[in-house]
Amino acid sequence: MRPSTGVARILALTSIWLGLASSLPSPDKGKDDPDVITRDVAIIGGGASGTYAAVRLKQLGQSVVLIEQEDRLGGHTNTYDDNGTPIDYGVWVYSNTTEARDFFAYLNIPTTVQNLSRDPNRSQRYDFRTGESVPPPSGNVTEAMVRYALLLLQHPYLENGWDLPDPVPEDLLLSFRDFIEKYDLSAAVETLALYVQGFGEILDCPTVYIMKYFNFNVVQGIQSGFLRPASLDNSEAYRAAAANLGDDLLLSSTILQMNRSTDSKNKKDSITSAYPQTILVRTPSGLKTVQASKIFITIPPILENLNAFDLDARESQTFAKFRATTYTTAILQLTGLPQTIQFVNSGIDTPYNVSPIPGTYVFVPTSNPSLRLAYLGGGSSGGEGKGEEGDREEKLPFDTVKRIMTDNVLSLRNAGYDVSVPEIRAYSNHYPFGLRVSADEIAGGFYKDLYALQGHRETYYSGAAFHAHDSGALWRFTERVIGEFGLAG
């Protein structure tokens, strides 16, 4: 009795993982089999880096497939449709880089330059635990920010990735707390902290991560404006990218198993000489086998994300050192707050009045007076000193986030605001966010080891862990990886 066509396909796919080369589909057969996808490059992750890589490599003449587990592209980019008016509650603005401008132009997305308000009178500071009023920063904020910018200029290599000098400069390894004290930056802490959200206990964070996040692109954006789609809908570019990719995009898809080439094998010894990488993917239309010459990974490289990725010891040992924090974004419906005022969570008893965490950093007004943006940070990333496994933070569940945000809003009743109980209209949990390692690991050459994985087993990397949480900067870095490693053929 012959098995059905569906069963036969599943058996054929299963044989891949049993190492039965005789039953593997050949590249020629793959062209005719809808369940076998043969490409030059398989890209994993449809956030900023993965989307850019897929569109750019296709533009350069490479065949690609982009695998994304969500039902949309964009990663940290989230947009809420308020009866036809877009409200972004994830990625807010873009660094005005050449790569960003070119990317938008290629996708036919008109852009504008947006200046974020620097009016100190539009911010009110309260401790969201109690509703107690907190005074604004003392000292000259402008002078402190100029000092910070001059310090950034001493480390221009940070703009291009993690190509750190050896030895790593001491300033970069200082805790941000010690860096603030060393250079008298206390007046600038609130400004820096509002941009560098999601990194847990920010004062304990190695300074290099602050400089990577609040980089010179951000300084220039504050001065001359950031890039945005003219529609003020940051998801527009990702919808256009999805249309550009067409059948080369697998949304709502999960990698079940991966069989990559090893450095000890050359391509002649691989299952197929041209396509040594094989990926089994569950898609909405069934199981698919992806055969590719190269793999480009852009998802956060923590072990829990890479269970199906046939990591070797070198890869596992490197990625295991990363720690992450929880960062959640939401749109709250509420009444009782002045429409134009931004409410900042300032700890009455924390150093430099930094936001207590876990807690909401800020409530930001939107074009709708009854809707507020809310950004919440989790606790310490753990392991800052020694990287202990037991200190690893877990993703905060929705109920916990909802409770904290609600309590933070209602604390403002103690400040005299007749604020309503908030309703969450949109929500996104960005865990794992802010991947980092301890200062000791950085000094010991962690990023040299991380970057040495580029090309290992015909696998390449981009994403925030390999550069910064900055879409414009990531597009530039991804362009660098494509060029330096010959991914365009």
Looking at residue 8, what is its pLDDT? 40
Judgement on whether residues 340 and 413 belong to the same structural domain of the protein? yes
Assess if residue 155 is contained within a domain: yes
Judgement on whether residues 309 and 378 belong to the same structural domain of the protein? no
What type of residue is 484?
Answer: E
pLDDT band of 395, cuts 50, 70, 90: confident
* Contact predicate 218/195, CB 8 Å: yes
Mean pLDDT estimate for the chain:
89
Least confident of 138-147, 193-202, 309-318, 384-393: 384-393
Assess if residue 59 is contained within a domain: yes
Cα three-residue angle 228-405-208, rounded to 5 degrees: 55
Report how far residue 278's alpha carbon sits from residue 293's, in angstroms, rounded to the nearest whole number: 9
Assess if residue 25 is contained within a domain: no
Ranges 253-257, 268-272, 390-394, most confident: 253-257
Judgement on whether residues 418 and 451 belong to the same structural domain of the protein? no
Assess if residue 281 is contained within a domain: yes
Looking at residue 117, what is its pLDDT? 66
Judgement on whether residues 311 and 331 belong to the same structural domain of the protein? no
Looking at residue 169, what is its pLDDT? 98
- In this predicted model, what pLDDT tens digit does every residue of 155-191 receive, in sequence order? 999 999 999 999 999 999 999 999 999 999 999 999 9
Looking at residue 18, what is its pLDDT? 42
Looking at residue 302, what is its pLDDT? 96
Domain region containing 179: 117-224+323-431
Report how far residue 72's alpha carbon sits from residue 50's, in angstroms, rounded to the nearest whole number: 12
Assess if residue 370 is contained within a domain: yes
- In this predicted model, what pLDDT tens digit does every residue of 471-484 receive, in sequence order? 999 999 999 999 99
Specify the number of domains making up the chain.
2
Report how far residue 451's alpha carbon sits from residue 315's, in angstroms, rounded to the nearest whole number: 11
Judgement on whether residues 128 and 220 belong to the same structural domain of the protein? yes
Q: State both tokens at 97.
A: 């880089």
Percent of the chain with pLDDT over 90: 80
- In this predicted model, what pLDDT tens digit does every residue of 218-245 receive, in sequence order? 888 888 999 999 999 999 999 999 999 9
> pTM (2 decimals)?
0.90
Mean pLDDT (whole number) for 423-436: 96
Mean pLDDT (whole number) for 82-105: 95
Q: Which domain CATH number covers 287?
A: 3.50.50.60
